[in-house]
A and B are shown apart, each in its own frame.
Chain A
Amino acid sequence: MQMIFFILAGVALISGVLVVFQRHPLRSALWLIVNFFAVAGLYLLAHAEFIAAIQVIVYAGAIMVLFLFVIMLLNLRQPEEEVKFMHLGQKVGGIVLAVFTGLLVIYGIAQVALPPGKDLPPGLGNTESIARLLFTDYLLPFEVTSVLLLVAIVGAVVLAKSKLK
């Protein structure tokens, strides 16, 4: 188990680094797909089968296709040019700030003593229990989500249309 975790975590971290430090956005997008698959594997490892499937379908499928489509639509043939000296301080500052924040969060987590976990009630599969919750306790958020998606569709169409009549 721990072996699989370390392999998947390594894949996720390496592909994440490659996403950030890749010249061309197309290559970043392709490495991000690798990252999403590794995280989906981690979800499987944490007994979240339904979420892992959704991760592959929605993130690695739909969202990344949207990204690749836009990258190719904008046709950014030329890679990002060399960084000017002016941006070097911003780069170093950004990296230092993010790493410092990460260490701060890790320090904060280390301060918390977690209570021991409970046992899963038997007889409930993962997808089944999610569906039960989704249509009982979380019914209102679930319905609001559909409205949110509708608003996003309308907004995307209006924004991407070439000219408003």
Chain B
Amino acid sequence: MVVPVSYYLALSVALFALGAIGVLVRRNVLVIMMCIEMMLNAVNLAFIAFADYFKAVDGQMFVFFVMTVAAAEVAVGLALIIAIFRNRATVYVDELNILKW
């Protein structure tokens, strides 16, 4: 009883859409970054499903690199959030609407 690859893809699309909803709807920049992580996870899931389907390990290599980039992105992004919070004392994206102050 093998799970069909289409099930994995459907779940991946659903998780990606959920993450996209979060990015578009939420105001808190921390939650927006978490939703970006969820979208990256959804893409990873599709990679893994195809790697299992085609019995090729290359897909898992890509997940490995995506995870590394995600870790780097989170580190830099959270540092940016801290820097912005120090200047503006807010984490709501609709209050951060000017590029220079």
Size bracket, chain A contacts: 35 or more
Q: A80-B28, A114-B5, A160-B79 are in contact. Are A12 and B15 (CB under 8 A)?
A: yes
CB atoms of A98 and B20 under 8 A apart: yes
CB atoms of B13 and A134 under 8 A apart: no
User: Cβ of A58: which chain B residues have Cβ within 8 Å of it?
Assistant: 67, 71
Interface of A is mostly: helix
B98 at the interface (CB under 8 A from A): no
Interface of B is mostly: helix
From A76, A101, A119, A130, contact of B17 by CB (8 A): A101
CB atoms of A159 and B76 under 8 A apart: yes
CB-CB nearest in chain B for A36: B41
Q: A9-B11, A39-B45, A59-B37 are in contact. Are A46 and B22 (CB under 8 A)?
A: no
CB atoms of B48 and A43 under 8 A apart: yes
* Interfacial residues of chain A within 62-112, with CB under 8 A of chain B in the complex: 62-63, 66-67, 70-71, 73-74, 76, 80, 87, 90-91, 93-95, 97-99, 101-102, 105-106, 109
Give the total of B residues in contact with A, Cβ under 8 Å: 72
User: Cβ of B86: which chain A residues have Cβ within 8 Å of it?
Assistant: 162
User: Cβ of B64: which chain A residues have Cβ within 8 Å of it?
Assistant: 51, 54, 130, 134
Per-position contact with A for B43-73: 1 when CB-CB < 8 Å, else 0? 0110011011111111011011101111111
CB-CB nearest in chain A for B30: A25
CB atoms of A76 and B26 under 8 A apart: no
A-B contact pairs, 21 of them (CB 8 A): A1-B2, A5-B7, A12-B15, A13-B14, A16-B14, A16-B38, A39-B41, A43-B45, A46-B48, A54-B64, A59-B41, A63-B70, A95-B21, A99-B21, A102-B13, A102-B20, A106-B10, A117-B53, A126-B57, A148-B72, A159-B83
